[in-house]
Every structure is written in structure tokens, then in C-alpha cells.
């Protein structure tokens, strides 16, 4: 009996091994795909994990993709995320971006301590600094042409909520380790699944939809009874899934097969 052809096409490797998905890889030129592969792309209801490059092209020509082009465009872009959160009136710690000629203004606008980040392509807690004085600020400013400065909100934990098609599939606290100000797991943060607040889950759904981030880990922090969205992580790691004995690939596959990877109006989000 002839083997059934996969129903969906993927470019990125996230779903390699899923029998319903043919992973073609990301090729620099569209004509590098064979005529058969191009036909598969055309026939597929959706192109999964198309990469930033192809996400933009497919969106322009009206081809459905997952995740959304916005998910790609804001990945690792802290400055863009801050602007988007502010435009959407999403609660976010007081944050400003400074050009080099504006660096002298930082200490006038922010009281120590505050947080300084490398605004692009920093992850796993790297490129994030707690600035406690002028000398430390000077060292940070040597590292970047754009200063990303954010108010410091004292906390012992923050909440990571991972959403697939705007629905939470996993949530956990990231607890600070002793002597550390970053909750990131690569900086010693500890995962805790106890007492996840429902109001934060609802806010995560709302924030993800507003931003059109449909494959994302949102980091939220509560202070004085108010939840803040700290940042969106499109490379959100697998540690939480492992501790819950979950496999992300299988989570996405189940959503693909049961239709919940599709939005409520049956359009791919």
C-alpha cells in the first residue's frame, strides 16, 4: 500500500519526526526547493515554522503560516517589544531607550538601582545587569550603542506562561536563587509549579492576542497587586516541559491534529 503523504509542510526543524509534517528545511532561495517541494508548499494548508525570512514573504502573498509573522518580527527585540507594549497599553515596567548622545540623561531619569539590558539578541539572562551606581552604569554603556534602561521592581519570583495559539500549555514560577536578581533558569532560577494564579493566565492570553504572538513564553511579574509583562520569549526553552514530563513537539502535534492550532474562526492565526 502506498504511504500517505504528509498533510503539512514545515521549514524549521521544530516538528522533525512528526509523521503528518514534511520538514523541508530553510533554503536561502525559493527556487532551491524542487518543483515537487514547491508544489507541496503550495498545497499545504499552512507552512509551519517558516523562519523570519519566509514568514514575511508568505504573509505578503496570503499564505497561512504558524507561528505568526509578528512572533518572528519581535523575537529577541526588547526595544520593539517595549514600544509595542506601550502602544497597546500593556502594563510594563517604566522603560526608556537612549541613544549614545543621550546617555547623560539616564541618571536624571532613573534612580539607582535599575535594570540595564543589551537590547538585541540577549537571552538566558545574559546581557541583563542590575545597575547600582555610576561606575557600573559606565561599564554597561561601553557594551552598547543603545541603552535599554528599565525600572527595578523588587521580587522573589516571576511567572513564565507558554502559549500556543494564544492558549497556555504550561506555566511555572521562576524563583530567584540566593544572591541573584535574575530568575532565568540559566542564572540559577528554580522552577515551581505551585499555586499558579488564574488571573495571570487570563492576562497572558489577553497580552498574547493583543501582540499577535501565538508561539511564545511570556514573563510576568506581580508587584503591589498589579501584573506587569516583562518580555516575550520566542525561544522559551524546554526545562519546564521536561520537569512536567511533557514534550513540546507532542503538544504542538496534538494541537495540529485536533484543530486547536487553528483560531476559533477556523483561520490559521
The pLDDT tens digits of the residues spanning 29-60 come to: 999 999 999 999 999 999 999 999 999 999 99
Are the C-beta atoms of residues 51 and 25 closer than 8 Å to each other? Answer: no
Are the C-beta atoms of residues 138 and 121 closer than 8 Å to each other? Answer: no
pLDDT at residue 127, rounded to an integer: 87
Query: Which residues pair with residue 27 across a beta bridge?
Result: none
233 and 168 inside one domain: yes
**Residue given cell 536624571 in the structure block:** 108
91, 96, 117: which is closest to 107 by C-alpha? 96
51 and 21 inside one domain: yes
Residues above pLDDT 90, as percent of the chain = 82
pLDDT tens-digit series, residues 63-91: 999 999 999 999 999 999 999 999 999 99
37-42, long-range: CB within 8 Å, 24+ apart, which pairs? Answer: 40/5, 40/9, 41/9
145, 193, 149, 188: which is closest to 168 by C-alpha? 193
Range of the domain at 229: 157-258
More confident residue, 72 or 5: 72
Diameter over CA atoms, the chain: 74
Residues 22 and 6: their CA atoms lie apart, in Å, by 6
Domain assignment of residue 3, yes or no: no
Number of domains in the chain: 3
103 and 57 inside one domain: no
Residue 61: pLDDT above 90? yes
123 and 214 inside one domain: no
What is the residue-averaged pLDDT of the chain? 91
175 and 250 inside one domain: yes
Nearest 5°: the CA angle 145, 72, 260 is 150
13 and 47 inside one domain: yes
How far from 108 is each of 93, 102, 112, 159, CA to CA, in Å? 17, 11, 10, 31
Residue 190: CATH number of its domain? 3.30.470.20
Average pLDDT on 222-227 reads 96
Residue 102: CATH number of its domain? 3.30.1490.20
Residues 236 and 216: their CA atoms lie apart, in Å, by 7
SS3 62: coil
pLDDT tens-digit series, residues 109-168: 999 999 999 987 555 557 889 999 999 999 999 999 999 999 999 988 999 999 999 999
User: CA dihedral defined by 110, 134, 189, 225, rounded to 10 degrees?
Assistant: -20
pLDDT at residue 269, rounded to an integer: 44
More confident residue, 257 or 5: 257
Domain assignment of residue 85, yes or no: no
Residues 140 and 130: their CA atoms lie apart, in Å, by 10
Amino acid at each position: 500500500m502506498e504511504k500517505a503523504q504528509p498533510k503539512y509542510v514545515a521549514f524549521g526543524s521544530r516538528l522533525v519526526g512528526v509523521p503528518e509534517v514534511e520538514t523541508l528545511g530553510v533554503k536561502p532561495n525559493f527556487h532551491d526547493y524542487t518543483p515537487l517541494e514547491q508544489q507541496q508548499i503550495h498545497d499545504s494548508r499552512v507552512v509551519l515554522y517558516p523562519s523570519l525570512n519566509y514568514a514575511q514573504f508568505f504573509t505578503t502573498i496570503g499564505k497561512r503560516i504558524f507561528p505568526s509573522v509578528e512572533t518572528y518580527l519581535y523575537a529577541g527585540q526588547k526595544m520593539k517589544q517595549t514600544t509595542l507594549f506601550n502602544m497597546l497599553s500593556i502594563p510594563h515596567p517604566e522603560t526608556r531607550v537612549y541613544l549614545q548622545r543621550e546617555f547623560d540623561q539616564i541618571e536624571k531619569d532613573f534612580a539607582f538601582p535599575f535594570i540595564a539590558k543589551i537590547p538585541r539578541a540577549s537571552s538566558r539572562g545574559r546581557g541583563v545587569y542590575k545597575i547600582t551606581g555610576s561606575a557600573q552604569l559606565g561599564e554597561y554603556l561601553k557594551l552598547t550603542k543603545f541603552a535599554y534602561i528599565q525600572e527595578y521592581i523588587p521580587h522573589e519570583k516571576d511567572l513564565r506562561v507558554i502559549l500556543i495559539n494564544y492558549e497556555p500549555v504550561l506555566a511555572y514560577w521562576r524563583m530567584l536563587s540566593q544572591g541573584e536578581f535574575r530568575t532565568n533558569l540559566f542564572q540559577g532560577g528554580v522552577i515551581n509549579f505551585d499555586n499558579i494564579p488564574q488571573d495571570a493566565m487570563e492576562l497572558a492570553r489577553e497580552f498574547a492576542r493583543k501582540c499577535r504572538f501565538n508561539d511564545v513564553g511570556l514573563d510576568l511579574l506581580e508587584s503591589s497587586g498589579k501584573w506587569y509583562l516583562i518580555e516575550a520569549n520566542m525561544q522559551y526553552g524546554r526545562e519546564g516541559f521536561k520537569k512536567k514530563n511533557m514534550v513540546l513537539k507532542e503538544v504542538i502535534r496534538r494541537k495540529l491534529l485536533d484543530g486547536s492550532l487553528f483560531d476559533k474562526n477556523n483561520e490559521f492565526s
